Amino acid sequence: MPGLRTPLLLLMALTPAPAFAGTLEAPADIAWTITAAALVFFMQSGFALLEGGMSRAKNAINVIMKNYADMCYGVIAFWLVGYGLMFGNNSGWFGSSHFLPTLDQNSDAVFFIFQLMFAATAATIVSGAVAERMRFTPYVISSMIVTGLIYPLYGAWAWGSYYEGEGWLRSMGFVDFAGSSVVHSIGGWCALAGVIALGPRLGRFAADGRARAIPGHNLPMVALGGFILWLGWFGFNGGSTLAASPEVGIIAVNTHLAGATGFAAALMTQRLLRQPILMSLGVNGAIGGLVAITAPCATVTPAFALLIGAIGGAISVLGASLLERLQLDDAVGAIPVHGFCGAWGTLAAGLFYKGDLFNLDRIVVQLIGISTAFLWAFPTAFLVFWILKKTIGLRASSLHEQRGLDFTEHAEIGYPEFQNDLTHGGKS
């Protein structure tokens, strides 16, 4: 397409330094990136609290176990193949070096640990959506495939490479500074595939199609989880500079503003829809705002950050409603928050690019990136879930749903003092 070449070259010239442009050799850069990696790691506890709190008491341990598995098995998959696929020498489509990396260079090790935390974040988005009915073993397998293949391959197109070569999306000028699409949409679309493959929880939808609420067992946990995620986001977005540079300041400001307006807009949307103003949807709105600002956090002004976050918050509420109408059971609202808001944030990065507002060429590139994320992650994840369903089985039996996955999958229950009535008494 020769006609596209000139605008694309211009786009590339205008695009800021990629997320990992720092050399990671200066002590301050290393200190900041490692701190940011720790903050992103801490987000796992936010996810665990939020998803655990939103599930029923009899499934809380199972959900938290899946969060642990995402982090721990994800490390293995990402180290084995994911890192090489994503950041190895890139032909445009995938990385082909640095598998089982030895990380001899200190800067490589710093970069690796930071990226490892991102990979685990993408995987853990799925666990909340499929909560309360997916068996643990197939979940772990799918999680490893997300961190070892689905996430890194898209990452190679959008962010590759750290060494030589360049991913095809990145070479077009695609902007996703910290991963609205690379991390969040990919996780969201994998979650959508899982939700469709699994089907809804027992009784989630009435015979006439009405959605029934299945309230979480601990809303204070949800609120605390939301705050921890928010805290972690400063590392997630701010750390993506890979340098202790002054631009971390504006990134942090934009991040915080978008989270705040996401929460406010979620409340206003509920109000406009004449729904009760739910805290759980408010927390999801804040996270929706944070997801949305993840791609454009370094390339928009604070005013646009406010707008991007607000639209993200509204999308998280409206998206949850849409899923209910479609009778798709997303236990925690992960698909609207990460999938839909991720797509919106990626588009917003093109729309509101500082100094180059509403550039149609840039918007087209962003749309290509958004649709590529869906067209790659959703069918691939669905195929993975379908194969698991046909081979080892994906879904817990209805008896296990009755007993709770804590007991049936792990032989442990979260709150033994309060769950005696419904805890299976053995033998039968």
Partner 1 sequence: MSTQATDIARRRRALHVGLTGALDEAQVLVALRLWDQAFAQQRPGAIIEFVAQLSSQLGLPPKQRHEMRMGIYQALLRYDAGREPIPETRPAGARGATNAVASLPATPLTSVRGPAEYAVFHALLQQLMDGLLRIEALARHDVIQSLQQQQGRSVLSSDLHSALIQWVRDDSGLGAYAAEPAEVLSDAVHALYVALCVAVGPVATDQLLARAVRAAEGLPEAARFKPQRLL
Binding site residues, partner 1, CB under 8 A: 56, 58, 201-204, 206-210, 212-215, 398-399, 401-403, 420-428
For residue 6, count CB atoms less than 10 angstroms from its CB and return exposed for 0-12, middle for 13-18, buried for 19 or more: exposed
In angstroms, the CA 294 to CA 252 distance is 10
Q: 64-79 in b/e burial notation, b at 16+ Cβ within 10 A?
A: bbbbebbbebbbebbb
In angstroms, the CA 113 to CA 117 distance is 7
Minimum Å distance from CB 127 to partner 1?
A: 20
Let me know: does 147 contact 82? Beta carbons within 8 Å: yes
Is 172 or 328 the residue whose CB approaches partner 1 more closely?
328
Minimum Å distance from CB 58 to partner 1?
A: 8
Minimum Å distance from CB 402 to partner 1?
A: 5
In angstroms, the CA 95 to CA 154 distance is 11
Minimum Å distance from CB 202 to partner 1?
A: 5
Is 43 or 332 the residue whose CB approaches partner 1 more closely?
332
DSSP string, 193-207: HHHHHH-PPTTSB-T
Residues 299/301/302/308 CA torsion (nearest 10 deg): -70
Minimum Å distance from CB 196 to partner 1?
A: 18
Is 57 or 193 the residue whose CB approaches partner 1 more closely?
57
Minimum Å distance from CB 138 to partner 1?
A: 21
Kindly report the CA angle at 46 between 289 and 214, in degrees rounded to 5?
Answer: 80
DSSP string, 282-303: HHHHHHHHHHHHHTTTTTS-HH
Residue for token digits 């998280």? 316
Minimum Å distance from CB 165 to partner 1?
A: 51
- Please compute, for residue 302, the number of CA atoms within 13 A of its CA located in the half-sphere on the CB side: 8
Minimum Å distance from CB 341 to partner 1?
A: 27
SS3 134: strand
Let me know: does 161 contact 167? Beta carbons within 8 Å: yes
Give whole-number Cα distances, 209 to 69, 203, 328, in Å: 34, 10, 11
Minimum Å distance from CB 416 to partner 1?
A: 13
Is 70 or 132 the residue whose CB approaches partner 1 more closely?
132
Query: Encoding tokens for residue 208?
Result: 């006439």
**260 closest CA partner among 212, 198, 197, 302:** 302
